[in-house]
Structure 1
């Protein structure tokens, strides 16, 4: 990646294909952010683990996406401004997939995922402290003289892990943030501005344990925390998804870039099917795509993975009538109707 401000090449191209270069993680460049979004914590974390989920989510890297120009512009603006992306759109249009596309294309490692519910708090995304386990360990230590550290009982969450001082930004997916408690967007404001947070249990013991090793949200991951405070070196790439079920405070929206994902058209669905099932679409797959779009229009919208389910059944060989293109057969038509059910539940199909 060329970090020169004179470079006309965007960081993110939206193709879904990883950038090819031989520069080690420790030497890779990243463009500077604005002065008010620059953080002073020196990089101290090794390269994150590879993302083992992107191929399952996105399909083969051999298929080039035809990204919309506004998607490319907004993603690159978010990268350069160090601001979160709020991605809105109907359920099933691929909002969460954008985080995996960014991580795979820019080779930023495993995507950290934070699924939000009405009970989610800022603290749960940052860290959890096992006070009971710590007390039991202290009792065992007093009895058996076995050494134990406070950091063994601190587990960073996905948000807390994303703010560790990595050399390059981690990608964090905050999924369905519109389901959150009313206070969470305001709680995130200071964190998004400051890029650091404190871990009170570690602050309380910093005189005896100035540097501790804690668990992270990566499988088997560990990180050193000094003085009980975690601060980022470069602000993470944050993708927040919303189904448009609520309004957010103005102060929160001012700190985000908003992207609205439209319904995928036949070309976008064809790219998705080809990425998962092969480089080239046959008549069966093309016919299913057009059937899917007609059905989606009738029932008020379907999710893209409902199309993938149907394509898998067609290509599995277990439905020979469908495989030979006889899609008018009653059994196959009934099965498709069940797979392509309206997302609203028991609602009836419009006339």
Structure 2
């Protein structure tokens, strides 16, 4: 029987993802054969991400909308100011639901959909083909009968050498890996989508809607080489792709983050579940400090109060407060020096009112 919520934002890692009900009929995928999800708690290769995954404290709204995205098999678009925990959310979900290491696509103005799906290096293949041709020529000259070998020897798959080896020069990207037919969802972070070229959100529409893509380089040799072994993003783990086509089985948990610096097309927004994060306040903020640094002492509580009061004058980020509490406690300074240092560590990211009010 299914349960709500699958992601709770509080529990230790569990297998509740297996309790998801079947997807809506319009979001059912049948890729195969099923692949085992890689082991890991979501951030095993990065200590800082592992810490963020363990200490992240989700709001009730975040818990509800994460579960909505999981149930509906839809991407989650997370917007909010810097430091509000947008990128940390996906690591926390991956850790709790045992979705394996998080795949990450950092967006720039030059990012393309092709690069996120797979990377192919035709030059390295050309050089490899040249080496193979030279080796074959040497074999021909030294043939026991003294006659050149005019036919190319087949490789292990029975494919002529001049047509083999495409997969050796191709690796799946983060999005391409996430859409493999894993038995449970992989977690994919598409970070700062608002930095992308204007066309990228529209380019993503079909891929995220259909849950599949093709690799033309493999399609061209599919008759001779129907199965190709490729490496996945971030690891040396090989997977098999048949006839150049990839289709997901469990739709990945896709989190797209945005700082709210641009508008997105309505067609794109319609296909996403949207979560708007705000800077934490009061008890929630204190809970975050406690999760990262332990029980706050009297001075730390005073900094929390000052941080909340200063927030009325401009935009601050939670990690500025965490930096101030950690450093003023670790540096061994006197009270006046600690206050001055804390002031310097919490500058405004943007100013909502006259900067003359900002002194505290």
Q: After superposition, what is the alpha-carbon deviation per residue over 1:178-236, rounded to whole angstroms, capped at 9, x for unaligned?
A: 11111111111111111000111111122232111112113323221111111100111
Secondary structure of 1:96 counterpart: helix
- 1:12 lines up with 2:25 in the alignment: no
Which residue does 2:128 correspond to in 1?
Answer: 137
- Quick one: structure 1 residues 107 and 314, their matched pair in 2 at CA, closer, same or farther if it must change by over 3 Å? same
* TM-fit CA distance, 1:349: 2.9
* TM-fit CA distance, 1:348: 7.7
Report the Cα distance in structure 2 between the residues aligned to 1:306 and 1:29, rounded to whole angstroms.
38
- 1:93 lines up with 2:84 in the alignment: yes
- 1:320 lines up with 2:345 in the alignment: no
* TM-fit CA distance, 1:63: 6.2
Which residue does 1:177 correspond to in 2?
Answer: 193
Please tell me whether the aligned partners of residues 14 and 96 of structure 2 are also in contact (alpha carbons under 8 angstroms).
no
Report the Cα distance in structure 2 between the residues aligned to 1:131 and 1:222, rounded to whole angstroms.
20
Report the Cα distance in structure 1 between the residues aligned to 2:229 and 2:297, rounded to whole angstroms.
53
Which residue does 1:349 correspond to in 2?
Answer: 355
Report the Cα distance in structure 1 between the residues aligned to 2:26 and 2:209, rounded to whole angstroms.
9
2:244 aligned residue (210, 228, 245) = 228
Report the Cα distance in structure 2 between the residues aligned to 1:60 and 1:193, rounded to whole angstroms.
30
Report the Cα distance in structure 1 between the residues aligned to 2:124 and 2:228, rounded to whole angstroms.
17
Q: After superposition, what is the alpha-carbon deviation per residue over 1:73-118, rounded to whole angstroms, capped at 9, x for unaligned?
A: 2111110100011111111111111111111111111111111111
- 1:104 lines up with 2:104 in the alignment: no
2:48 aligned residue (42, 47, 56) = 56
Report the Cα distance in structure 2 between the residues aligned to 1:249 and 1:63, rounded to whole angstroms.
34
1:310 aligned residue (317, 324, 343) = 324
The TM-score, its normalising length taken from structure 1, stands at 0.86
Which residue does 2:141 correspond to in 1?
Answer: none
* TM-fit CA distance, 1:60: 7.7
Report the Cα distance in structure 2 between the residues aligned to 1:88 and 1:212, rounded to whole angstroms.
39
Range 176-185 or range 219-228, more displaced:
219-228
Which residue does 1:295 correspond to in 2?
Answer: 310
* TM-fit CA distance, 1:287: 2.0
Please tell me whether the aligned partners of residues 54 and 104 of structure 1 are also in contact (alpha carbons under 8 angstroms).
no
Range 239-248 or range 68-77, more displaced:
68-77
- Quick one: structure 1 residues 134 and 61, their matched pair in 2 at CA, closer, same or farther if it must change by over 3 Å? closer
* TM-fit CA distance, 1:142: 2.0
The TM-score, its normalising length taken from structure 2, stands at 0.84
Larger Rg: 2
Aligned length: 329
- Quick one: structure 1 residues 60 and 91, their matched pair in 2 at CA, closer, same or farther if it must change by over 3 Å? closer
In structure 1, runs of 5+ residues without a counterpart are: none
Backbone CA RMSD of aligned residues: 2.5
Which residue does 2:21 correspond to in 1?
Answer: 31
In structure 2, runs of 5+ residues without a counterpart are: 137-154, 156-160
Which residue does 2:340 correspond to in 1?
Answer: 334
Report the Cα distance in structure 1 between the residues aligned to 2:73 and 2:307, rounded to whole angstroms.
38
